[in-house]
Structure 1
Amino acid sequence: MTPTESGQVALELERLRGSLDAGFARVDGSLALLVQRSDQTDKQLADHEARLDALEKNRWPLASLAALTATAGLGLALWELAGR
């Protein structure tokens, strides 16, 4: 290899290294963005879980209240029938 050819090879290797560095920087930036979005999604999911738990906790009295209302209605209907 002549000195001119080895200089051209070194120049091409340097260009290739620069291209690889730029590509890795772009991939690192994309990965950082994905990690940030993942963190935001985890926070949002935790918030939704907490809200769902609160709704489920407050929902149980509704079934009991409906059963009590139905029982009271049945009792009232029977009382009226017995009164006649």
Structure 2
Amino acid sequence: MSIPTPSDPAAVAVELEKLRGTMETGFARVDGSLALLVQRGDQTDRQLADHESRLDALERARWPLASLAALVATSGLGLTLWQLATR
């Protein structure tokens, strides 16, 4: 089996032009899809940075609670021992 050769060189030029148009359309579609993916990636990066900063703020605000609980427990124990000692 061989590829049939067209008898008219103009037919080859027309077919090549059609192929070129099809390729340009395909590349434009792929380029648009890639631009959309890049935009979504940028949005995801911004969301991750926002979540990271919010999580850091929550972690910084949380650490005094444990220290405060330990201070209250120690004070309660000290007052209890003082009351027992004064009886």
Classify the TM-score, shorter chain: 0.7 to 0.9
How far the C-alpha of 1:24 sits from its partner, in A, is 0.3
Give RMSD over aligned pairs.
1.5
Structure 2 residue identity aligned to 1:53: D
- Structure number with greater CO (CA < 8 Å, separation at least 6) is 2
- State the TM-score, normalizing by the size of structure 1: 0.88
Q: How far does the alpha carbon of each residue in 1:5-47 deviate from its partner, in whole angstroms, 9 at most, with x for none?
A: x122111111110110000000110011011101111111111
The runs of 5 or more residues in structure 2 that have no matched partner are none
How far the C-alpha of 1:80 sits from its partner, in A, is 2.4
- State the TM-score, normalizing by the size of structure 2: 0.85
1:75 equivalenced with 2:78 (yes/no): yes
How far the C-alpha of 1:82 sits from its partner, in A, is 1.5
Q: How many residues align?
A: 83
Matched residues, percent identical? 72
Q: Moved runs in structure 1, 4+ residues, more than 6 A?
A: none
The runs of 5 or more residues in structure 1 that have no matched partner are none
